[in-house]
Chain A
Amino acid sequence: MSDAIVINGLCKKFDTFELDNISFSLPEGYIMGLIGPNGAGKTTTIKLMLNMLKKSAGDIKILGMDSVEDQNKIKENLGAVFDSNYFVQDWTVKQVEKSIGIFYSNWNSEQFHEMLKKYKLDPNKKVKELSRGMQMKLMLACAFSHNAKLLILDEPTSGLDPVARDELLDIISEYIQDGKRSVLFSTHITSDLDKIADYITFINNGKVFYTGQKDDFIEGFRLVRGGSNELNREMERKLLGVRKYSTGFEGLIRTEDINYFNKLNIDPVSIDDIIIYTSKGDINNE
């Protein structure tokens, strides 16, 4: 089984920000959540994958091909959904197909029209007249109409109501049913990923904090709570992030360090807890 994405040692230098040694892979047929606080480097990573930015170092292989050398071949098999649509606002839905379809050798016009019907998109409506949720579905319709093997979503659910978000999750689940198509889902709304993501890559401050299976990610951390006086120096060093208040503290630890916190309250975490606490506790990061 091949990998949909393999990124190795990716680096990109900007004036005020640096992407440092990003590495992760996504096996074919699965969903990877790309998470991290705003400004962490998620969109930069995606732009580098699409060759919209030039990397300073490292390599990127998508669907087995090099992201620079074979960028056109890759993009023939790639679809994307961004937080806002990437079409000309004055185009009608029909015009979108006319303008974009010619770029794909495997564009399937019947499929496009089927998708329009399925998503209830009016071919004569202008892009700017569509609601945010419909615009997202239009981007999906385009992605599905040229048989994209990899779907890249960058904040696709921002501005969507819970119903539309749920619909998207189901559409993605259906997309990967055949086991040959993969999804990279970059978002800071992690509740979406708590459910369906198979893999997680967590980027913070331009570095990879974790990459691997989502279940292991969540299993690998715990939330510990206790009284202010129950914290000693040894324990503090084990905290990845902490919130102290008058009547106690709450902190994030790795599951393997549970024994240092024997007498205290220990609970499982959600993805959000991990993100929040690792963003706070820079002093406690190893």
Chain B
Amino acid sequence: MSNIIKMLKLDFSLIKPYTKTLLIVFLFPLIVSVKEFSYGFVLYMSIMAMTSNYTFSVAEKNDLNRLYGLLPVKKEDIVNGRYLFTALTGVLLAISFAILNIIIMFFAKMSFSLEDLIVSLSVGLGMYMFFTAIQLPGFFKFGAIKGRFVAFIPFIGVFLAGVIAQKINPESLNKLDNIAVLNNPYSFLAISILISIVFYCISIGISQRILNKMEF
């Protein structure tokens, strides 16, 4: 078992006490998504992005730096494990959310479009990865509490971008529909995954440098 997987398992054991909270958090977007899947899903992924500091918070509260210093792991393993944990939870939760939706839709005898589902998945996951890619270096540098301020930046950024885009050219968002690649839901998913990976790689590099400089 590589050290990264061990760190992944360790991160899971850190947030065990929070799983109940997370399940409750699951419910609200689920209800919204029954009405309109894309809204519910995006809401869901946004909420998930806000919980990305749980591992940092638990580690800080328990002064886990001493444990990290004792265990036979390197700082790179800590960073890589944390990113893997964040990405994995995002993907797993996204898929389970989608499956739950499908089940609900099925029993409610409501129709749904697979293509819509995939596009929503791409947007939601892409957003989650984008947000966490910006947040994680902030948490590594400033900790779980101060890092929260950094955590808000991507939200504000996207919000502002949307507002500005509306003001500048209300038609601009429609122009996006014309880009062929974006029309096909599967290629959209592929692009979303690709961009996420790129963002994560850049973010990992930044976090590695931050953690390497830090001393406990």
Contact = CB atoms under 8 A, between A and B. Distances in A.
Direct contact of A and B (CB under 8 A): yes
Contact of A72 (B63, B65, B67, B73): B73
Contacts of B67: 86-87, 100
Interface string A95-123: 10011101110000000000000000000
Nearest to B77: A72
Contacts, number: 63
A95 B17 CA distance: 12
B69 A47 contact: yes
Interface residues of A, number: 29
B69 A52 contact: yes
A87 B73 contact: no
B92 interface: no
Nearest to B66: A86
B72 A99 contact: no
Contact of B72 (A52, A53, A75, A91): A75
Contacts of B61: 89
A79 to B, nearest CB: 8
B9 interface: yes
Interface in B49-69: 58, 61-67, 69
A260 to B, nearest CB: 46
A71 B72 CA distance: 7
Nearest to B17: A90
Nearest to A78: B70
A88 interface: yes
A82 interface: yes
A150 to B, nearest CB: 12
Chain A CB within 10 Å, residue with most, of B58, B61, B69, B70: B70
Contact of B9 (A54, A74, A75, A102): A102
Contact of A47 (B16, B74, B216): B216
Nearest to B7: A103
B174 interface: no
Contacts of B64: 86, 88
A98 B71 contact: no
A103 B66 CA distance: 15
18 contacts: A47-B216, A51-B69, A52-B69, A52-B216, A53-B215, A54-B215, A74-B72, A75-B72, A80-B70, A86-B67, A87-B67, A88-B62, A90-B17, A99-B10, A100-B67, A103-B3, A103-B71, A103-B72
Given A88-B58, A103-B3, 15 more contacts: A54-B215, A71-B72, A74-B72, A75-B72, A76-B72, A78-B70, A82-B66, A84-B63, A86-B64, A86-B67, A89-B62, A90-B17, A95-B13, A100-B67, A103-B6
Interface of A: 47, 50-54, 71-76, 78, 80, 82, 84, 86-91, 95, 98-100, 102-104
